[in-house]
């Protein structure tokens, strides 16, 4: 087997086909080539960065990919990578250090292309490997915020609970609207914030996401069926290009009225005053979402000492859908 470092635009036809087959096999999905080409080629550099594991027939049997993204760092602009789609086919998992070697080789091309750090939100199986073996840093955990719309569905109770909880949510929305007219809080700026310009929005939100525009407010959400619970994930809600109290209320009001959702979730920081979303207690979170980081720019390590503090980040589902 060999490790091949490559950018997406250099994939051969054989590599595309075998990558697709191996990915779908490992993750038990049915992604077509257009999904991968959009995800990797439409990133800010016009391609993404990959460490491919090839078998003796030069078929792709493993991969580690990094999507380049642009971030504001206070007044500066930096390029940060998002590590995604890390896998090795089961028959080739004979070397426990293979993923570490793949990523170590991949780092070289990332540094050459001015990527200052790599972020990831690994699952519970991958997390110990990246922290203990690859030696990444855990910045902190992403927070869950919720609005329970239909308690009957959430608690397996009679439908009367749905009626009661829906009345409560409507009262909560009414109360929050009054408060927001008095004080429409907007989010505090973080040191590290994704540059979500029009190009990024077109890249990030495909037809699977609902985009709603109401006057000067734009919000995005997606509906999933989570164990028979119809869950609306709110990814972003902006008023004049900033998350605001009124934007959150507008988005939630629309979702409650139009989607028949049982639960509304927001994942990430809500850095503004609001009385709408309830923070999910740690022990009640569906799963842990640890934000991890590897700083690549060792020459300016002091410049990025603030990158390892969770409160310096505005990172949520908008950055990458890890739900």
Q: What are 266's strand-pairing partners?
A: 145
Q: How many residues does the chain have?
A: 323
- pLDDT for 151 equals 80
Render the burial of 228-255: b for 16+ CB within 10 Å, e for the rest: eebbbbbbbbbbeeebbbbbbbbbbbbb
> What CATH class has 2-140+291-314?
alpha beta
Extents of the domains making up the chain = 2-140+291-314, 144-284
Is pLDDT above 70 for 159? no
- Sign of the alpha-carbon torsion through 119, 124, 130, 132: positive
- Tokens standing for 273? 């005053």
- pLDDT for 166 equals 86
Is pLDDT above 70 for 122? yes
| pLDDT classification of 163: cutoffs 50, 70, 90 | confident
Q: Give which of 101, 89, 93 is closest to 62, Cα–Cα.
A: 89
Tally of helices (H runs) and strands (E runs) in the chain = 8, 16
Is pLDDT above 80 for 161? no
pLDDT, mean of residues 222-250: 95
Is pLDDT above 80 for 243? yes
| pLDDT classification of 235: cutoffs 50, 70, 90 | very high
């Amino acid at each position: 087997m060999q490790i091949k470092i490559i950018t997406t635009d250099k994939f051969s036809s054989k590599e595309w086909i075998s990558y697709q087959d191996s990915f779908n096999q490992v993750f038990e999905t049915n992604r077509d080539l257009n999904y991968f080409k959009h995800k990797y080629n439409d990133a800010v550099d016009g391609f993404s960065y990959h460490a491919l594991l090839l078998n003796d027939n030069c078929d792709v049997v493993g991969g580690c990919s990094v999507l380049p993204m642009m971030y504001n760092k206070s007044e500066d602009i930096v390029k940060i990578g998002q590590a995604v789609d890390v896998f090795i086919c089961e028959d080739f998992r004979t070397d426990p250090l293979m993923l570490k070697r793949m990523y170590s080789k991949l780092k070289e091309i990332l540094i050459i292309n001015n990527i200052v750090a790599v972020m990831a939100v690994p699952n519970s199986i991958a997390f110990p490997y990246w922290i203990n073996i690859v030696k990444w840093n855990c910045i902190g955990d992403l927070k869950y915020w919720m609005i329970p719309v239909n308690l009957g569905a959430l608690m397996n109770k009679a439908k009367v609970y749905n009626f009661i909880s829906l009345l409560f949510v409507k009262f909560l929305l009414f109360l929050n609207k009054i408060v927001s007219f008095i004080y429409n809080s907007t989010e505090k700026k973080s040191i590290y914030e994704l540059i979500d310009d029009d190009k990024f929005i077109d890249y990030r939100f495909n037809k699977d996401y609902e985009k709603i525009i109401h006057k000067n407010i734009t919000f995005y959400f997606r509906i999933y069926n989570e164990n028979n619970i119809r869950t609306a994930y709110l990814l972003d809600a902006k008023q004049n290009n900033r998350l605001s109290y009124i934007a959150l209320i507008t988005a939630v009001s629309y979702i409650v009225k139009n989607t028949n959702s049982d639960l509304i979730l927001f994942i990430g920081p809500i850095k503004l005053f609001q009385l709408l979303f309830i923070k999910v207690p740690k022990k009640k979170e569906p799963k842990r979402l640890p934000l991890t980081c590897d700083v690549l720019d060792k020459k300016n390590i002091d410049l990025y000492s603030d990158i390892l503090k969770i409160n310096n980040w505005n990172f949520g589902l908008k950055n990458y859908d890890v739900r």
